[in-house]
Amino acid sequence: MLLYLHLLLFCLIPVDRGDFSPPRFNVSLEVPPEQRWGPVLKHYDAAQLRKIVQRVIDAAPKWLSFIIERFENQLGQILPQPYEAEIQGMAKALNLSLGEGLLINLAYELSSFCTSIVVQDTEGNIYHGRNLDFAFSDALRSLTVDLQFIKNGQIVYTGTTFVGFVGLWTGQRPNKFTISGNARVNRDWWKIAVAVLFQRSLPPSWLIRDTLLEAEDFHTALKKLTYSPITANVYYILGGVRPTEGVIITRSLNGPVDIWPLNPMKEQWYRVETNYDHWNNPPPSDDRRTPAMQALNATGQNNINLHALLKVLTVKPVLNNFTIYTTLMCAAQPYYYRTLVRT
Ligand SMILES: *[C@@H]1O[C@H](CO)[C@@H](O)[C@H](O)[C@H]1NC(C)=O
Ligand SMILES: *[C@@H]1O[C@H](CO)[C@@H](O)[C@H](O)[C@H]1NC(C)=O
Ligand SMILES: *[C@@H]1O[C@H](CO)[C@@H](O)[C@H](O)[C@H]1NC(C)=O
């Protein structure tokens, strides 16, 4: 049955020449955090990985490297677990310092431009799709992975990330909910992140992982994503398994700025979030919202499904030169979780 569904999805979705599915690996939550990334890393050439990572590190502001070097010995006490230990283990495997490991993890936090969409079809099914756009897109395409986090032989949650990065910007708790995160631009991002990290707030992508692990249902996830202190402004897009379970959360560091749920009774059957507050117009130089809405309007609630959502996420400039991957998910049908690396 499962295999059949996978095949069906494969045939239904037209894959452009060049787009490909990233590798999918298991990460065991029962293995100590220092070692749990080993089975993933062994599929990659350490020297090659180090070279890519170095490019990201070189692009980080010098004062940031300086601060991190200065506090290197204290990072172990400052950073929350299990993320500190995971970064520690990964850095060791790649012959990087813990500071360098942290630096790439913070650099990847800056997930520049993204589009996330949550929809409800006429039967009440919830679907969720996202494009992740980022600088260094050529290098990061080869590092994109789908991961299954395993405990007791079960998938606790699934997510998509770049090798070397312990956070998740995209993830699914099977049969419960799906989450994506989009950057909400603020200029002094780096300074705030470092300052806040020292007060033990979580980077937004680490909060996604915590939520996928700990929240048992849509409403618990909504609360956690809305109220937990974080190190950067962000939009969280959350999808559930029941009608009306779809919402865009606009976040500041300490709590919600706005909560914008689906309202299918009023024909508001989709929510689109790019990187701008939904109550303001996007800047004309970067309007991915209008084309996405036009494509959704043209599709109609009658015809929306994961296949149609992929088409919407393939309309230019929703899909653009910086798009690294597209993920499609539906928490009620968790085996549909699928990422395409875009080329
Ligand atoms: C690891 O890094 C150190 C310091 O940068 C260097 O001296 C050493 O040769 C490296 N080892 C390997 C195996 O690359
Ligand atoms: C990953 O874990 C799942 C659940 O335990 C298992 O069914 C699957 O075979 C594992 N895959 C690999 C490649 O080990
Ligand atoms: C999409 O349809 C809605 C409802 O009819 C309308 O309010 C909105 O302006 C349309 N948006 C675009 C971009 O076509």
| Mean residue pLDDT across the chain | 90
Is residue 19 situated within a structural domain?
yes
Per residue in 126-167, pLDDT tens?
A: 999 999 998 777 788 999 999 999 999 999 999 999 999 999
Is residue 36 situated within a structural domain?
no
Per residue in 166-191, pLDDT tens?
A: 999 999 999 999 999 999 976 666 67
Q: Residue 26 CA: which ligand 2 atom is closest?
A: 1
Q: State the pTM of this model.
A: 0.92
pLDDT for residue 14: 47
163 Cα: distance to centroid of ligand 2 (angstroms): 19
Ligand 2 contact via 182 beta carbon (within 6 Å) = no
Is residue 332 situated within a structural domain?
yes
Is residue 104 situated within a structural domain?
no
Q: What is the CATH number of the domain that holds 253?
A: 3.60.60.10
Q: Residue 155 CA: which ligand 2 atom is closest?
A: 4
Q: Which domain holds residue 146?
A: 2-25+110-341
In sequence order, the 6+-apart residues with CB closer than 8 A to the CB of 164 are 49, 53, 90, 94, 101, 104, 105, 108, 143
Ligand 3 contact via 263 beta carbon (within 6 Å) = no
State how far the Cα of 103 lies from the Cα of 85, in Å rounded to an integer.
15
| Residue located nearest, by CA, to atom 7 of ligand 2 | 153
Give catalytic status of residue 114 as yes or no: yes
Per residue in 192-231, pLDDT tens?
A: 777 777 777 899 999 999 999 999 999 999 999 999 999 8
Ligand 2 contact via 150 beta carbon (within 6 Å) = yes
Is residue 82 situated within a structural domain?
no
pLDDT for residue 6: 41
Q: How many CB atoms lie within 10 A of CB 222?
A: 22
Per residue in 61-79, pLDDT tens?
A: 777 777 778 888 888 888 8
Write down the catalytic residue from 91, 102, 103, 114: 114
Per residue in 256-275, pLDDT tens?
A: 999 999 999 999 999 999 99
